[in-house]
Structure 1
Amino acid sequence: MTMPLYASPEQLMRERSELARKGIARGRSVVVLKYRGGVLFVAENPSPTLHKVSEIYDRIGFAAVGRYSEFESLRRGGIRHVDLQGYMYDRRDVNARALANVYAQTLSTIFTEQLKPFEVEICVAQVGDNSDEDELYRLTYDGSIVMDEPKYVVMGGQTDAINAKLKDTYSDGMELNAALAVAIEALRATPANTSASTGSAGSNELNASKLEVAVLDRERPGRKFRRITGAALEALMPSTQQGEASSESADSSGSDGEKS
């Protein structure tokens, strides 16, 4: 008779944590940051149909990295929860803090009781009447709520490089176009994008077609969530005017060379 293999609870927790962290690190990065008009979401996402950023309720947005099927089930569950709360009480009683606590309990239960943890990291954001009332909550795979930086949240990919860049470039009260430029610059600071940016195609490494951008717009009446796509996103992209200017200067220098 063979004896069953034994693993200590500490070892099981370490293995689950390592599995979840590796899965999250393989995902494409997401940056959520405050700007003057509300909260901005910027995600590396070339898919036009599988969204990493979504609306949860009137003033609440959701962003996630990791396994799509797992964070999509969390998103749907969160929508059902807040819809029920708003129906039973009042829509103004629904807030991101309560939803973050629900997500924390759910993720903690999955991490401790199920064989495989969720390989996800999520952010719940709420826009308030002013910038001081905007709230960002980052939740890890084990249900921990991380509040290390109240102004912005970074998830997935090379978070250390992105966080370091944001510490140098982020400032309070930025306009939307400046906040988007800061977020894209931080995403380009990852080792993969940095090495790619040295080539001629590096400036297009994170173009509009590879980004998912949305905002919680404080000035918008009713539901605050709004996606920014197409021409509106192209107009806000920081590399558009720079790329045009560089191409014009290259053309002019080329024509001068032909003249000489």
Structure 2
Amino acid sequence: MSMPFYVAPEQVMKDRADYARKGIAKGRSLCAVSYDDGILFAAENTSSTLRKISEIYDRIAFAGVGRYSEFDQLRVAGVRHADMKGYAYSREDVDAQSLANAYAQMLNHTFTHEMKPMEVEILVAEIGDERAGDELFHILYDGSVVDEDRFSVLGGEADAITARLDESWADELDLGAALRAAVGALAGDDRALGADDLEIAVLARSNGRRKFARIEGEALTALLG
């Protein structure tokens, strides 16, 4: 009887992390930016049907990068989780932090127990009645959760985009300025992104009970200026 090869646990975890990061880096990046009326989401996405940014609940949005089939599976699970909690308790009891914790447990379990980790990074965002109540939870492929403040960047070019956003972001940006800052950070100095290259959405305090809305077509072109 042959003996199986021994691989140190540290090496197994490193190999899984490298595999997940390489898969995520193949896709386009995404960012979320805080502005005066809520949170803006901007992704480089030429598809009109395969969405990276979606509504989860009244005040909560979801965004993902990496392998589409995997983060869309997580989106569906999040919608079901929120609907069940809202039905069992009340709509006010559905919050981004508990949803982010549930996602973190799912991703961590897959990362540590399955042969192949999920090649995804996701973002769960919620807006409050005041800007101080806005929340951005960035969840990595291994279940790590980062509580972001001014903005959050997901994807393989996160470091470069974060550096550009750090230069252009300012407190109390309006929607147009936040959009131009986000798109400029995604594009960099050597490219230009038009309305057809982008997927844009917001969680806005002025939107009524359901805060999520997409910005498309002429409205997006006008905001891009």
Same fold (TM over 0.5): yes
Opposite residue 91 of structure 2, the aligned amino acid is: R
Local SS of the residue matching 1:20: helix
CA distance in 1, matches of 2:59, 2:151: 17
Select the residue among 176, 196, 208 that pairs with 1:221: 208
CA distance in 2, matches of 1:104, 1:172: 30
Output one character per residue of 1:226-253: Cα deviation in whole Å (capped at 9) or x when no partner: 0011111111114xxxxxxxxxxxxxxx
Q: State the match for 2:224 in structure 1.
A: 237
CA distance in 2, matches of 1:4, 1:104: 32
Q: Percent identity?
A: 53
Name the structure where strand makes up a greater proportion of residues. 2
Q: State the match for 1:161 in structure 2.
A: 160
CA distance in 1, matches of 2:46, 2:211: 24
Select the residue among 198, 202, 214 that pairs with 1:211: 198
Local SS of the residue matching 2:142: coil
CA distance in 2, matches of 1:234, 1:145: 34
Q: State the match for 2:72 in structure 1.
A: 72
Q: State the match for 2:54 in structure 1.
A: 54
* Bigger Rg, which one: 1
User: 2:21, 2:156 within 8 Å by CA — same for their partners in 1?
Assistant: no
Q: State the match for 1:146 in structure 2.
A: 146
Opposite residue 182 of structure 1, the aligned amino acid is: A
Name the structure where helix makes up a greater proportion of residues. 1
CA distance in 2, matches of 1:172, 1:104: 30
Which one scores higher on RCO, CA 8 angstroms, separation ≥ 6? 2
Q: State the match for 1:258 in structure 2.
A: none
1:165-184 to structure 2, matched below 5 A, reads 165-184=164-183
Local SS of the residue matching 1:172: coil
Q: Which runs of 5+ in 1 are unaligned?
A: 239-260
1:1-260 to structure 2, matched below 5 A, reads 1-147=1-147, 149-189=148-188, 194=189, 197=190, 202-203=191-192, 206-238=193-225
CA distance in 2, matches of 1:132, 1:222: 19
Q: Which runs of 4+ in 1 moved over 6 A?
A: none
Q: Alignment length, in residue pairs?
A: 225
User: 2:46, 2:198 within 8 Å by CA — same for their partners in 1?
Assistant: yes
CA distance in 1, matches of 2:36, 2:204: 10
Opposite residue 224 of structure 1, the aligned amino acid is: K
Opposite residue 19 of structure 2, the aligned amino acid is: L
Local SS of the residue matching 2:50: coil
Normalising by structure 1, report the TM-score: 0.85
CA distance in 2, matches of 1:29, 1:121: 10
Normalising by structure 2, report the TM-score: 0.97
Local SS of the residue matching 2:56: strand
RMSD, matched Cα: 1.0
